[in-house]
């Protein structure tokens, strides 16, 4: 089952990568008031049960994919195809 | 206007980060058949027009946020609030 995990820095946490990207965008002439950079992880989990896939993805986030002190994550279970 | 940009490695392009994450997940006991790692960029673009926001985000992707040779991107314009 295909699962997408979106990991982004929590509100209030300094995001140096976002600040750097914002600076570069402004140098290129774009007006942006805020930029936050996170990670996107697309997984193909070996189960056909949606709630089990979600549970496994949560466990993966807690153990490896996200640093829960400074990052929040969102799990999207996607239809195969 | 809040815009989310999802950048991921194109199909067929080697993704060493994804391979590394997959290896770590398997060592932790998770069964995953494929992992691809990309970037997530949340932008607050200074316009209130949705199509203009999308256009600007596309220009930012082409110039800075994505490497179009090896990465594809998806733009999601989000409601403020």
Buried b (16+ CB within 10 A) or exposed e, B36-46: bbbbbbbbbbe
Asked if B31's CB is within 8 angstroms of A60's CB, the reply is no
Check residue A79 and give its pLDDT.
Answer: 72
Check residue A21 and give its pLDDT.
Answer: 98
Asked if A38's CB is within 8 angstroms of B30's CB, the reply is no
Q: Does domain A2-78 bear CATH number 3.30.1280.10?
A: yes
The mean per-residue pLDDT over the stretch B13-32 comes to: 97
Query: If pLDDT is split at 50, 70 and 90, which confidence band does B80 have?
Result: low
**A28 shares contact with chain B (CB less than 8 Å):** yes
**B31 shares contact with chain A (CB less than 8 Å):** yes
At residue B4's C-alpha, the angle toward residues A2 and A75, to 5°, is 30
3-state secondary structure A24-55: HHHHCCCCEEEEEEEEEEEEEECCCCHHHHHH
State the complex-level ipTM. 0.92
Measured between alpha carbons, how far is residue B47 from residues B27, B50, B54, B71 in Å? 46, 8, 10, 26
Check residue A80 and give its pLDDT.
Answer: 61
Residue of chain A whose Cα is closest to the Cα of B18:
A41
CB nearest A64 (choices: B28, B40, B43): B28
Check residue B79 and give its pLDDT.
Answer: 72
Residues in B closer than 8 angstroms to A24, CB to CB, are 64
B24-66 confidence digits (pLDDT tens): 999 999 999 999 999 999 999 999 999 999 999 999 999 999 9
User: Number of residue pairs across A and B with CB atoms under 8 Å?
Assistant: 96
The stretches in chain A having pLDDT less than 50 are 81
Candidates A1, A2, A20, A30: best to mutate against B (most CBs of B within 10 A) is: A30
Q: Is the pLDDT of residue B81 over 80?
A: no
Residue of chain B whose Cα is closest to the Cα of A64:
B25
């Amino acid at each position: 089952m295909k699962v997408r995990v979106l990991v982004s820095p929590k509100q209030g946490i300094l995001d140096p990568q976002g600040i750097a990207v914002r600076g570069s965008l402004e140098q290129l002439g774009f007006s942006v008031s805020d930029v936050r950079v996170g990670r996107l992880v697309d997984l193909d989990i070996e189960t056909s049960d949606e709630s089990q896939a979600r549970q496994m993805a949560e466990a993966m986030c807690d153990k490896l994919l996200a640093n829960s002190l400074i990052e929040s994550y969102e799990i999207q279970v996607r239809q195969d195809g």
